Chains A and B, each alone.
Chain A
Amino acid sequence: MDAIGTSSPARKLRRRRFGDNAGFVLLAVPLAVFVLFILYMFFYLFRNGLGVINWQFLTQAPTKGMTEGGIWPCIVGTVLVTFVSLVFSVPVGIFAAIYLSEYAPANFLTRAIRSAIRSLAGIPSIVYGLFGVALFVTGLKFGLSILSSGLTLGLMNLPWIIATAEEAINAIPGSFREGALALGATKWEAIRHNVLPYAFPGILTGVLLAVARTLGETAPILFTGVTYYTRTIPTSLTQKFMALPYHLFTLATQHDQISTVRPIAFGTALVLLVFVLAFDAVAFVIRLRVAGTNKWQV
C-alpha cells in the first residue's frame, strides 16, 4: 500500500512535469548557443578592433599601400552611397506604402503589386549588382560612380522600406481616419493629418533598419562604383568611391600583405559594425517607445 504522497498518479504527474521541463530545456539549448555565439562574435570583434581605432584612424586616408593610415575616405564613401540610396528609396517607398495601405482596392492588380514587392525583398543582392551594371553603369551611362551604386542600393532597400512603412500605417486604427472624414476632410487630408503623424515613428524605425543593412552591403556596389583606392575623397556623385565593407573585403582577402594589414581590417570591421549597431539601436529604442505609448494598440 502506498502512502498518499507517493501514490502512483502523483508520481506519474511528477515524472510528466520533469519530462516537460526537460523537453523545453532541450529546446532552449540551441537558442542559448546561438545567442552566445552572437555575443561572442561582438566581443571578439570589439576586443580586436578597439585597439586600432583612434582619431587618426578615423580621419586619415590610407597610406603606404594601405598598410598604414586610416579609413576616412571609406567612411565618407559609405555615408554618401547610403544617403543617395535613401534619397531615392524613402520617398518612393513611403508613397508606395501609403497607396498599398490606404488606397489599393482588393483586386488582382493590388495582389500582383504586393507579391512583386515582396519577391523583390528576396532577390539576392548580387543580382541587384548585375542590374545596376546593366541599367545605371552602362544603360544610363552613369558609369562607375556613387550615383550608380547609390541607386542600386536604393532599389535593393526599397522593398524593406515599403514593408515596414505599410505595417506602420496599417497599425493606425480606422477610427482616426473616420473622425477626420466625418468632419468633412478629404481622404488625403485625413491621411496627412490623422494617420501619417502617428505612423511616423514606425516608418522611421523601418528607415533606420534599412540604413543599418544598407551600410554593410557589399555585393551591389562591387561593380557599380566602389574602388580599391582613391587618392582624394569624392567631390561629385559621378566619381568612384571607397566604402567600409569593400575596404574590409580587400584588406581581408585581396591585399598582398594580409597579415600586416590584419589590424586595420579589424579596425575597419569594428567601425562598420558600430555604424550598423548604432542605427539598429536607435530603431529598436523608437520601436519600444512606440509600443509603450500607443494605447490604441492594446
Chain B
Amino acid sequence: MRLRKVADRGVRGIFMANAVFSAVVLLGILAFLLLYGVRTFSGTSVLKFLSGTVWNPDAYGEPSYGLLPLLLGTLASTAIALIIAIPLGVASAVFISERLKGWVRVTVKTLVELFAGFPSVVLGFFGLVVLAPLIARIFHVPSGLNLLNAGVLLGLMSLPTIISVADDALRVVPHSYREAAYALGATPWTTAIRIVLPAARSGILAAIMLGFGRAVGETMVVLMVAGNAALMPKSLFDPVRTITSTIAIELGESAFGDTHFYSLFALGFVLFLLALATNLVAESLIRREKRSFTL
C-alpha cells in the first residue's frame, strides 16, 4: 500500500519534470541567442546594427552589420503575404464555418491541414520551377526570383494557419447569436457577416497574427525564391533577403567565434522577439474572445 503511494508521488514528479523541462527550452533558446548575440557588439555598435542600411559582413576592411535591409525584406515579403492571405483566409474561414457541414467540411479541412504540413522546401521548389517563370513572363521581368514570388508563396503558406484559427474563432461564437439574428429576420448571409464575424473579431485578429508569425519565420521558401540580394527593396520585382534566409546563407560561411558568426545570433534574437510577441498577443486575443462568450 505504501509502495503504491510512493509510486504515485514518483510518477507525478517525473511528469512534472518533463513539463518544466519543455518550458525551460524556451528560456534556453533565449539564453543562447542573448549570450552569443551580444558578442556581436564587440565588433559593431548596437546603434549601427539597428539603424544600418547595409548588410555586408564580408566587406574588405570595414564589414557592416545593418539590420534594416534584412528587416525590410522580411516585412515586405510578409506584407505581400498578408495582403493575399487575409482576405482569402477570412473569406474561406467564414464559408467553411457557416456553410460547410459533414464530409465536405472534413474533406476541405483535411486538405487545408495537409497543406499546412507541406514541406516548405517542396513549396520553394514549386515556386522556383512554376511561379518564377510565370512571373517573369507575365510582368516581362528578367527574373521571377523576387519579392513578389516570395510574398505569394508566403501568403499561401500562411493561409492554412489563418483559415484554421479563424474557423475555430467563428465556431466558438455561440449558436444563440445566430438564432437571435434569424429570429429578427436576418438572412444567413447578414448573420454571418454582421453578427458572427464581428463577434469573432479577436479570434480573427489572432488568426492574422499567427499567419504573420508563420510568414516571418519561414526560411526555405524565401531562401529559394526571393533572389537573396541584401539590398533595400524598391519594387515588387527586386530580389530581397530576409532575416531567416540571411542566417541560412551565412551561418555556413562564417567562422565560429567571429563577429559575423555572432551577428547571426543577434538576427536570430530579433526573429525570436518577433515570433514571441506575435504568439503572446495572439494567445491573449484568443483568450479574450473565449472569455467574451462566457457569462
Contact = CB atoms under 8 A, between A and B. Distances in A.
B251 A130 contact: yes
Interface residues of A, number: 91
B15 A122 contact: no
A223 B217 contact: no
Contact of A126 (B111, B118, B217): B217
A115 B95 contact: no
Interface string A103-145: 1100000001101111111111111111101110011000000
Contacts of B95: 24, 27-28, 31
B44 interface: no
A280 B22 contact: no
A276 interface: yes
A92 B14 CA distance: 10
A245 B92 contact: no
Interface stretch (A50-58, A62-70, A208-216, A232-240): A208-216
22 contacts: A24-B98, A30-B88, A30-B92, A35-B108, A35-B111, A41-B123, A95-B14, A95-B19, A103-B12, A104-B16, A119-B275, A120-B26, A121-B279, A122-B279, A123-B29, A189-B8, A216-B117, A219-B219, A219-B220, A249-B223, A249-B224, A276-B117
A93 B280 CA distance: 21
Q: How large is the interface on B (under 10, 10 to 19, 20 to 34, 35 or more residues)?
A: 35 or more
Interface string A89-100: 001110110111
A223 B252 contact: yes
Contact of B251 (A16, A19, A27, A222): A222
A195 interface: no
A249 B28 contact: no
Interface stretch (B133-141, B175-183, B264-272): B264-272
Given A116-B25, A222-B252, A249-B121, 4 more contacts: A27-B92, A27-B94, A186-B4, A276-B118
A31 B19 contact: no
B126 interface: yes
A223 B278 CA distance: 26
A85 B229 CA distance: 34
B20 A92 contact: no
Contact of A30 (B91, B187, B247, B272): B91
Contact of B248 (A44, A91, A219): A219
A92 B22 CA distance: 8
B119 A272 contact: yes
B53 interface: no
Contacts of B35: 134
Nearest to B284: A115
A155 interface: yes
Contact of A45 (B126, B217, B271): B126
Nearest to A186: B8
A249 B126 CA distance: 11
B239 interface: no
A283 to B, nearest CB: 9
A284 B193 CA distance: 31
B33 A41 contact: no
Contact of A252 (B19, B89, B115, B128): B128
B119 A38 contact: no
A126 B247 contact: yes
A153 interface: no
A113 B19 contact: yes
Contacts of A269: 122, 125
Nearest to A26: B91
A248 interface: yes
